[in-house]
Every structure is written in C-alpha cells, then in structure tokens.
Amino acid sequence: MTASRQGAPGLTFSRLADIILPRLVIAPTALACLIGFYGFIAWTAWLSFTESRLMPRYEWAGVVQYIELFGNDRWWQSMQNLAVFGGLFIFVSLAIGLVMAVFLDQKIRGEGFLRTLYLYPMALSFIVTGTAWKWILNPGLGIEKMLHDWGYTQLTFDWIINPDFAIYTVVIAGVWQSSGFVMALFLAGLRGIDDSIIKAAQMDGASLPTIYTRIIIPSLRPVFLSVFMILAHIAVKSFDLVMALTGGGPGFATDLPSIFMYQHGFTRGQLGLGAASAMMMLFTATAVVMPLLYSELRRERRG
Amino acid sequence: MAKLAYQQSPGAKAARYAIYTILVLMAVWYLAPLYVMLSTSLKTLDEIRAGNLMSLPGSLNFDAWRTAWGSACTGVECGGMKGYFVNSLKMMIPAVLISTLLGALNGYILSMWRFKGSDAFFMALLIGTFLPFQVVILPMAQVLALLGLENSTGRLVLVHVIYGLQFTTLFFRNYYVTVPGELVKAARIDGAGFFRIFFRILLPISIPTIMVCLIWQTTQIWNDFLFGVVFSSGDGQPMTVALNNLVNTSTGVKQYNVDMAAAIIAALPTLFVYVVGGKYFVRGLTAGAVKG
C-alpha cells in the first residue's frame, strides 16, 4: 500500500522529491495540531497554576485557582446545570431519535420528505435556535399567551424566567436542534443491518417488536456509542445556545461551565480562574469520552 | 434494512396509523419554530401584541426585514445586519476553501504516503476533534495578539482553518483508504510525482468527499459563535455575534419582528446549503460517526 516503501533504484531527484514532499505538505498541519491543540492545552494548564488576572503572569502559584474554583458556588451551580442539561439532553435526544428512526424504517410513505424536515434544525446555528425559542417561550407573548388565547387561562408556562425550570428550556431547545440528527444516525445504522438475520428471526415466528428489541436495537451498539459521544461533546461545549436563549440566567440558573469560563477568562479579567475552569471542562469531556473510546478500541482489536 | 412483511391484521393497521400520527406530529414540532419565526417577522409590533404565536400576519409586511438588514441597532451601531453578513461571508469562504484543500492533501498523505509516525499523528489529530475549544482559546488569544493580527476576518480565518483541519483531514483520509493503492503504484511506475497523482487521479474522484467537506465546514464556520465572540470586535464581528447582540440588546422598544427577521437572515445561508446539498449534508453529518 505504502508507495514510499517501494524500492528506490537510484535516488533520482523525483524520488527524493517524493520522499520530502509529503512531509513538507503535512508539516503545517502537524505544526498547527501540535501547537494549536497540545501546546495550547499545556499553556492553559500552566496559566491555571498562576495568579494571572487581567494579564497573563507566568510565575508558578500552585493550585490557588483550583482552590478558588472549588470554593466558588457559581462554578458548582454551573457543573450541576451541566449534569442536568447534559443528562436530559442526551437521554431525550437518544430516545426520540431512536423511536423516530425505527418508525421511519417501517416503509413509510414520504420518508425522504419527513427525514429532510426532521434534520433541518441541525443546519441552523445555536444562536438562531436560541433566538427562536427565546421568543416562543416568552411568557407574555409566546406559548403561554397562545394557551390563554385558546381559553386555558389558568395554565402558566413561564419556565424561561423561572430559576427552577429555566434549565429545562435549554433542554427543549437543544433536543429540538439535535434529535433529528440522532434519528439520521440511527436510521443509517438500521439500514446497515444484515437482512438475513431478520428473515431468520421472522421464520422462527418472532413478532416485529420482538425483532427490534431483541435483535436489531442491540446490534446498533456502535451507533449508540457514536451518538452518545457526539451528544456528550455538544453538551459539554454548549455555549451559544444558552447565551442566546437565557444568557445564563435568570440569576445563574442556566449557567454552564463554558459560560463561566468565557466570562472569567475574557470579560472579568480572571485569566487564571478561567484557565482552571477550562481544564476542568477538558477533564469532564475526557472522563466521558475516553472510557467509551477505549472499550470500543479494545473490542475492535479483539473482534 | 429488512423488507419486513406486514400482516394486515386490525392490530397491525392500528399500529401503522399510530406510527404515521406520531411521525406527522413530530414534523409539526420541528416545523413550528420556523413558522413562528417567519410569521412573526411579517407582523407589525401591534399585530404581535394583539395576536399570538400561531396567528397569521394580517398582511405581508416586509418592514421588519428591511430594518433587520439595513438599520437595526446592535448596541450603539445602527447599520443593520448587512455588514455582519458580509463579514461572515468574507471569513467563511477562504476558511472553507483552505481547510478543504489542506484536508484533501493531508488525507492523501495519510493514506497513500504513510511515513514513520504518520499513524500516531493521525490519532493525535483525531483526539483533537473531541476537545472542548475552551481549553485552547486563552492561549490562542495571546498568540493572535502577539502576531499583531488586528483584522477580525484574518484572525477568524486562521482560527477556523486550524480547528477545521482535523475534520477535513479525517473525511478525506477515510475516503482515500478505500481507494486501491494499486492506482497510485501504477501511476508512480509511469513516472507521475506526488502532486501529479493528487491532482490528476485522486482529486477528480473525490467530488463526494469534497462536497461533504464544503458543507460541513460551511455550516461549522458560519454557525460558529465562540470564536467569533472571542476573536472579533466592533464592526468586524460575524453574523452570529451580531444577531446575539441584537436580540439581547435591552435599550429601546423590543422589536420582536426585527429579531425574527434577523434570525432568519442568519439562518438562510446554511438552510440554502442544506436544501441544495441535501443528501451530502446527511452524509457529512454522519461521516466519521457511523462506519459503512
């Protein structure tokens, strides 16, 4: 396969070029990756161990920023919000996506059309989604007003300004945006399943629900994994949706680590604390993704 | 998947009705916000206060659209969205083209010209796709300041190219490993060099992957907010940042119809790409996530 491993009869200029060129062409990307990811992570880590405020300072100060972070109520509120939002967002998106994929898989008339409809929110930016839902959820003018107009005057739907419920409005908008995409991934997975297994099960007299719950859905394990990782990734880095929808409020009711990081790092002149919170976000993302990735790699090697 | 046979028992029929009902209800739920945005953008403020979310606008009134495009205020500036729209275009087009071309070359090297350490490099690149960007933006801001890149567009192009490369490289590499290596071997025996093989043989057969990359990068870069809000300022900001400023401005009477018109304007380019690039869009979203 590897072209450059071919025997080189006499090192002509073009042969030499073929050895050097690939390395030369990939060098900028390698550099960008090395510096832009791994170098910058190290840099952020270093900043998190300094007393940097408005300007970066590079004298070692130990774990002061982490102590401050762990003693900060707003940080814990944002982590708790991430847990609530992330958990619900992932679970509901998975459930809706899977159910719709299974339903769409039943030789539905107009399947292509419906699929297109379900998926379009994914093309929108979270800022647009947040703007739209902010308007729909506006208690004075949105859904609540509509319900009142329809005669249900005793109903209230003021979640977006209610600190106890505001985080669930983020879940609603997030699920609206992403569940169609989950559906598409599951549908692709369903279409990739070997027909013969299902035919055999049918011969044995298994009913359709049984075939799905016993055979088809369990065999979608790799798809579940991919979807979970993508959704977890979206949840951890969620920033724009909340900024547009609630701005983190009311109070800090919908604050997330990403917003905490942005505000301390860029608008409050707390570089060190911002860096420490960024490192915690990295650990959170790693803690979620790595074990899954690792177990899957091991499965693949063994299989 | 399977061609499942349906027993036409009454129970099965009822089940199919239920399935269709749920699917249609879901379609309504996905469409409702778009309808609400459109109808609100066509109403006057009085109509908005008198009616509700679902009520139709009395007449087709494009004033809010004109305001959103040309004279809406984001903070102190009152030039509408048009300048920011152009900013986003100026940032997106070069960033998409550069990251796609580099991704294609990288993918070509990582599949056809492997060298010692190239697999490790690919893994390092892959891990990058899962990092939350928050962990790199503080140093990035320092570096951009050191480089003296004052121009918002230039900064954003650079940042989007760097952090888009992993995805474009991944897409092309995964495509090129399915291309038989004999194709390249034969070309080399005929004396074709590195670039000749790439431009004459591989690039022409990569149209689907190029489409996937263009669509993926276009939506990612156009929709980005984090990099935009951190690395741009003033009238150099991209569309997403301007829209957020507009919607969350608290001065003056809130013009909900203008907000909705601006939101639709911000959504139009990616919606257009989605409608035109339909099947490639789906492939782009699922690429790298589901094998096969």
- A2 CB-near residues (< 8 Å, 6+ apart): B112, B113, B114, B181
Q: Which helix (H) or strand (E) holds A191?
A: helix A166-191
Confidence of residue B38 (pLDDT cuts 50, 70, 90): very high
Residue B184: pLDDT above 90?
Answer: no
Which range, of A141-150, A164-173, B228-237, B246-255, averages the lowest pLDDT? B246-255
Q: Is the confidence at residue A3, as pLDDT, over 80?
A: no
What number of helices (H) and strands (E) belong to chain B? 13, 0
On the question of pLDDT at B4 being above 60, the answer is no
Taking a C-beta distance cutoff of 8 angstroms, is the pair A175, A96 a contact?
A: yes
Report d(CA A206, CA A7) in Å as an integer: 58
Q: Identify the top-confidence range among A145-149, B71-75, B145-149, B171-175.
A: B171-175
- Amino acid occupying residue A122: M
Tell me if A285 and B259 make a contact (CB, 8 A cut-off). Answer: no
Q: Which residues of B90-100 are buried (b: 16+ CB within 10 A; e: fewer)?
A: bbbebbbebbb
Question: What is the predicted pLDDT for the residue at A295?
Answer: 77
Chain B residues touching residue A265 (CB < 8 angstroms): 137-138
Tokens 């940032």 locate to B91
Instruction: Check CB contact under 8 Å for A37 and B102.
Output: no
**Is the model more confident about A109 or about A93?**
A93
* Other beta carbons less than 10 A from residue A120's beta carbon: 18
* A96 has a pLDDT exceeding 80: yes
Listed in sequence order, the DSSP H helices in B148-200 are 152-176, 181-189, 194-197
Predicted pLDDT of residue B97:
97
Level-2 CATH architecture, domain A64-302 = Orthogonal Bundle (1.10)
What confidence score (pLDDT) does residue A86 get? Answer: 95
Contacts of residue A107 in chain B, CB cutoff 8 Å?
Answer: 3-4
Average pLDDT over residues A23-46: 93
Of B3, B244, B256, the CB nearest to A135: B256
B120-155, pLDDT tens digit by residue?
A: 999 888 888 888 999 999 999 999 988 888 788 999
| CB-nearest partner of A103 from B5, B22, B256 | B22
* pLDDT at residue B164 in the model: 93
* Residues of chain B contacting A14 with CB distance shorter than 8 Å: 191, 193
Full-model pTM: 0.90
How high is the pLDDT of residue B3?
44
Closest of A82, A12, A18, A34 to residue A277, by C-alpha: A82
Span A245-299, pLDDT tens digits = 998 889 899 999 999 999 999 999 899 999 999 999 999 988 888 887 787 777 7
Location of structure tokens 């905490």: A260
Q: What pLDDT is attached to residue A278?
A: 96
**Rama region for A247: left / alpha / beta (φ>0; ψ in -120 to 50; rest):** left
In 3-state terms, what secondary structure has residue B74?
strand
Task: Say whether pLDDT at B290 is over 70.
Answer: no
CB pairs under 8 A between A and B: 296
**A104-133, pLDDT tens digit by residue?**
998 888 888 999 899 999 999 999 999 999
- Per the CB < 8 A criterion, the answer to whether A275 and B138 are in contact is yes
pLDDT at B1: 44
**DSSP symbol at A108:** -
Cβ-Cβ contacts under 8 Å for B72 (sequence gap 6 or more)? B78, B80, B81, B246, B255, B258, B262
Chain B, nearest residue to A239 by Cα: B226
> What pLDDT shows up at residue B288?
52
d(CA B233, CA B229): 8
Is residue B115 a contact partner of residue A265, using CB atoms and an 8 Å limit?
no
Give the confidence band of A8 by pLDDT, cuts at 50, 70, 90: very low
Q: What is the mean pLDDT of chain B?
A: 87
* Cα–Cα dist A12/A32, whole Å: 31
Pick from A29-33, A139-143, A237-241, B18-22: least confident: A139-143
Note whether B280 and B215 are within 8 A (CB): yes
Determine the Cα–Cα distance for residues A238 and B124; give it in Å rounded to an integer: 24
What's residue B158's pLDDT?
Answer: 95
Let me know the angle formed at the C-alpha of B247 by B244 and B250, rounded to the nearest 5 degrees: 115
B37 neighbourhood in chain A, CB within 8 Å: 132, 135
State the average pLDDT over residues A157-184.
Answer: 92
pLDDT at A303 over 60: no
- The beta strand positions in chain B, using DSSP E, are none
| Side-chain half-sphere CA neighbours of A277 within 13 A | 31
Q: How far apart are CA B147 and CA A240, in angstroms?
A: 27
Report how far apart, in Å, the C-alpha atoms of A65 and of each of A138, A286, B7, B57, B204 are: 38, 21, 66, 54, 53
Average pLDDT along chain A: 88
DSSP for B30-69?
HHHHHHHHHHHHTS-HHHHHHS-TTSPPSS---HHHHHHH
Nearest-Cα distance to chain A for B255, in Å, is 11
pLDDT for A5 beyond 70: no
pLDDT of residue A11: 63
Map out the domains of chain A as residue ranges. 1-47, 64-302
Query: What pLDDT is attached to residue B282?
Result: 76
Q: How far apart are the first and last CA of chain B?
A: 14
| Shortest Cα–Cα distance, A90 to chain B (Å) | 16
The 10s digit of each residue's pLDDT in B264-288 is 999 999 999 998 887 787 777 666 5
Residue A267, SS3? helix
Residue of B nearest to A247 (CA): B248
Q: Which residues contact B167 (CB under 8 A, 6 or more apart)?
A: B103, B129, B213, B216, B217, B220, B288
Does B292 score more than 60 pLDDT? no
Kindly state the tokens that stand for B205: 């057969």
- The answer to whether residue A137 scores a pLDDT higher than 60 is yes
Q: How far is B229 from chain A (nearest CA, A)?
A: 10
Of B19, B132, B230, the CB nearest to A103: B19
Nearest residue to B110 via CA among B176, B187, B195: B176
d(CA B69, CA B84): 10
**What type of residue sits at position B80?**
G
Beta bridge partners of A60: A50
* Average pLDDT over every residue of B47-76: 85
